[in-house]
């Protein structure tokens, strides 16, 4: 293997766990500073949390919604360019030209260009009696596309929070060549301790990929309290990096040769019984 190939088979990933407030300009400023900090630590891909520019809640989505391009996406574009990173811009409440609202993740390249925007496919509508009820569909519309982008290192698949619960989406991303799946997400104090790490490890092991999640930092005074614990999981299902509940940046060195070794040792892709079952995309991204 050449030196260049060895270099390109490894890269540093940074996951930003941002303390989100009701002041959008402060959220944008702090996010930009942490992106710069991550780049200074050698990160080539940086992931922000779900709803990083606004509080998370159906009452906040219409108030904070903006177009893409818009104020928040402009800051992200500039931050990606000045830090020379691939920037997975968490998510923001997006308003389209028809007035519909989406929970949208914009991704920017090192040149500041908008690479893609992923609109959350599966809306967070749950009701756990006595614990939590939340209905994103009260104000948001679902997206309808798979979202992947290529870097010099690997192909990356993008989902948002509740998207992670749907194994079929991760399977499709893996099938289409993704080696890293990123999920900006804001699990809560009920679903977080129960399922947050479990789902990440499941998606990683099932598909032999790296999985990264970016949560907002926990704010006990917020109307919706995020679990935190942003995490990176290896293709073996090991937690290789994990935050606590506070604002921080966590790092993981993504090793694609290690991923290839795992797939060679346990070759489930070649062993799948496509004569008996298959998962196919109806709507291509």
- The catalytic residues are 50, 120, 161
Residue at token pair 């289409």? 176
282: DSSP letter? S
What's the token pair of residue 177? 């060549």
User: CA 218, CA 197: separation in Å to the nearest integer?
Assistant: 16
Alpha helices for 65-212 (secondary structure H)? 71-83, 167-175, 191, 197-207
The closest alpha carbon to 226, from 166, 161, 157, 147, belongs to 161
CB-based burial, 129-162: b 16+ in 10 Å, e otherwise: eeeeebebeebbbebeebbbbebebbebbbbbbb
């Amino acid at each position: 293997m050449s030196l260049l190939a060895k270099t390109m088979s490894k890269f540093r990933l940074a996951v930003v766990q941002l303390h989100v407030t009701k002041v959008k300009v402060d959220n944008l400023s702090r996010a930009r500073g942490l992106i710069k900090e991550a780049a200074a630590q050698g990160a080539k891909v940086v992931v922000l949390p779900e709803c990083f520019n606004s509080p998370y809640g159906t009452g906040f989505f219409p108030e904070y919604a903006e177009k893409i391009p818009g104020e928040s996406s402009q800051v992200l574009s500039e931050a990606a360019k000045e830090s020379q990173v691939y920037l997975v811009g968490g998510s923001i409440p997006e308003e389209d030209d028809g007035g519909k609202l989406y929970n949208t993740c914009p991704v920017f390249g090192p040149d500041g260009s908008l690479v893609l925007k992923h609109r959350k496919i599966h809306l967070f509508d749950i009701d756990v009696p006595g614990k939590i009820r939340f209905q994103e569909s009260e104000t948001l519309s679902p997206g309808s596309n798979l979202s992947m982008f290529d870097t010099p290192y690997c192909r990356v698949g993008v989902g948002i929070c509740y998207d992670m619960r749907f194994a079929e989406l991760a399977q499709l991303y893996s099938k289409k060549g993704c080696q890293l799946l990123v999920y900006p997400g804001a699990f809560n104090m009920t679903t977080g301790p129960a399922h947050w790490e479990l789902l990440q490890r499941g998606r990683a092991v099932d598909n032999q990929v790296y999985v990264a999640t970016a949560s907002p930092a926990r704010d006990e005074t917020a109307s919706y309290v995020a679990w935190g614990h942003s995490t990176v999981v290896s293709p073996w299902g090991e937690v290789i990096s994990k935050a606590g509940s506070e604002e921080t940046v966590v790092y993981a060195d993504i090793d694609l040769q290690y991923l290839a070794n795992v797939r060679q040792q346990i070759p489930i892709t070649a062993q799948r019984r496509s004569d008996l079952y298959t998962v196919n995309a109806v709507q291509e991204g």
